[in-house]
Homo-oligomer: A and B are copies of this chain.
Amino acid sequence: MSDDTRDDAWLRTEMGVSTESAITVVGRDVASELMGRVSLSELAFRFVAGRFPTDAEATLFDAVLVSLADHGITPSVLAARLTYVGAPEALQGAVAAGLLGGGSVFLGVAEDAARFLQQTIAEVDDPDDEAALRAMASDRLAQLRSEGRRTPGLGHPVHKHTDPRVPRAYELATELDLLGPHLRLLEIVAVVHEEQTGLRLPINGAGVAGAALADLGFDWSIIRGFTLLARTAGILGHLAEEMQQSMGMPLWHEIEARSTRASQRSDS
């Protein structure tokens, strides 16, 4: 282990490093430069972006995280609560179980929208050229439809007319002077979709979150991570509630009893 010539370049990290007297995180002294000076959200932004957000960016970033934090009784929340029922001594397991449902069906939407928008923008010469964006969006939507695929970021099973998070996100981005090409393109996509199909689908909350995070500079490949961070806060709230009054235990008892009856009925 005293091999001083060994090149451990692959072990370098920009994240935390500790010595006996100091703890450095992202190159800053955690005690004097971070604690009391930045929020957890600002630090998370810094971890991924490699720079701290401006105040306006921090506000929009927090607004996006807040919009993603909790959607009530989702499959993930039920999984977390049911896991807590069996292993209350291992809270980390219940949180982890809640995150593991964060895959393609739900959490993938923000990622898919950001990817679609980033790839579309990458194909135009000037992302501020609205006509070029519209033409490229038109081509790509036509192709999606020819493949039988849905347009990322549009449509919602519950909020059929307007997802209330969407106008609020645009309002905030405008106020904060952070309305960038991805948010603009997402509006164009909604218009083009209606033109091509005759069907008006509202932009959904995950789509606007993905677009806003893309405008904040994040690559689509890490966007699911921010959704997971926001959801961790929501899962924590559900587990705190579960500790006070269990939903998981009576849920299990009811469903097991009904399943037993239904299964016995099918046997006869």
Contacts and interface: CB of A to CB of B under 8 A. Distances in A.
Give how many copies assemble into the complex: 4
Contacts of A252: 73-75, 78
Nearest to A225: B236
A228 B34 CA distance: 19
Nearest to A249: B75
Main secondary structure of the interface of A (DSSP, over half): helix
A226 to B, nearest CB: 7
A67 B37 CA distance: 11
A228 to B, nearest CB: 5
A85 B105 contact: yes
Contact of A67 (B9, B30, B167, B222): B30
Q: Which of A85, A91, A238 has the most CB of B within 10 A?
A: A91
Interface stretch (A57-65, A120-128, A132-140, A181-189): A57-65
Contact of A70 (B15, B78, B88, B100): B15
A66 B35 contact: yes
Interface string A76-114: 111100111111111111111101111111110000000
Nearest to A48: B240
Contacts of A88: 103-105
A99 B100 contact: no
A196 interface: no
9 contacts: A3-B6, A17-B72, A25-B70, A44-B236, A87-B92, A89-B89, A222-B236, A225-B240, A228-B232
